[in-house]
């Protein structure tokens, strides 16, 4: 069972931000770079950030009882590179599975599997902060458009946390 209190005094953060992606694959590294950006800032006590890599099924091992999980990832929607999207819980979970096998689950399909496999996570609410990539390539570093968007997404995440307070 995830802990709710540490020594009966300290409340666990209620928002977990998870950056998905591969920093060695160009703009696919947008999620991890947002997490790095947030880690360099003073975070509100209700916020915790983690890097997840590319395997969304690792998410339950990162979860510590937070009520919300905000995901950050490169999101291809055929808009100009660096475009930023925020999808709410229902929008994230309504994205259809595009693969033909369970060995290659999309992020939304992984979230659906997680809620079935981990009933204690069924009440978790998701948000997805997506950044339109310019290109995926074997290279370290982001395109200039995505690099600019990374800082803006980190700002928007902190703004969204303060709006909830």
d(CA 163, CA 83): 22
Q: Which residues of 103-117 are buried (b: 16+ CB within 10 A; e: fewer)?
A: eebebbbbbbebbee
pLDDT averaged per 10 residues, the chain (length 165) = 43 86 92 97 95 91 96 93 96 78 75 94 96 85 95 97 87
pLDDT given at position 119: 94
How is 105-159 classified by DSSP, letter by letter? --HHHHHHHHHHH-GGGTT-EEEEEEE--S---SBSS--HHHHHHHHHHHHHHHH
DSSP class of residue 67 equals S
Strand partners, 131: 74, 84
pLDDT given at position 106: 83
- Quick count: other Cβ atoms within 10 Å of Cβ 10? 10
- Which CATH number goes with the domain that contains 143? 3.40.50.1450
d(CA 114, CA 59): 8
Radius of gyration from C-alpha coordinates of the chain: 16
pLDDT given at position 12: 55
Asked if residue 6 lies in contact with residue 114, where contact means CB atoms within 8 angstroms, the answer is no
pLDDT given at position 21: 92
Domain that holds residue 41: 5-164
Q: How many structural domains is the chain composed of?
A: 1
Tokens 């390539």 map to which residue? 137
């Amino acid at each position: 069972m995830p802990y709710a209190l540490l020594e009966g005094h300290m409340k666990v953060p209620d928002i977990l931000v998870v950056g998905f992606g591969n920093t060695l694959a160009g703009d696919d590294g947008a999620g991890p770079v947002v997490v790095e950006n947030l880690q360099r800032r003073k975070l509100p006590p209700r916020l915790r950030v983690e890097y997840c890599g590319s395997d969304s099924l690792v998410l339950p091992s990162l979860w510590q009882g937070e009520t919300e999980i905000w995901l950050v990832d490169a999101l291809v929607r055929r808009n100009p590179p660096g475009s930023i999207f925020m999808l709410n819980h229902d929008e994230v979970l309504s994205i259809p599975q595009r693969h033909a096998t369970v060995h290659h689950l999309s992020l939304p399909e992984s979230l659906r599997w997680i809620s079935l496999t981990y009933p204690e996570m069924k009440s978790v609410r998701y948000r997805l902060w997506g950044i339109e990539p310019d290109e995926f390539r074997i290279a370290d570093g982001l395109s200039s458009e995505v690099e600019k968007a990374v800082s803006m997404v980190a700002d928007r995440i902190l703004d969204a946390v303060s709006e909830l307070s």
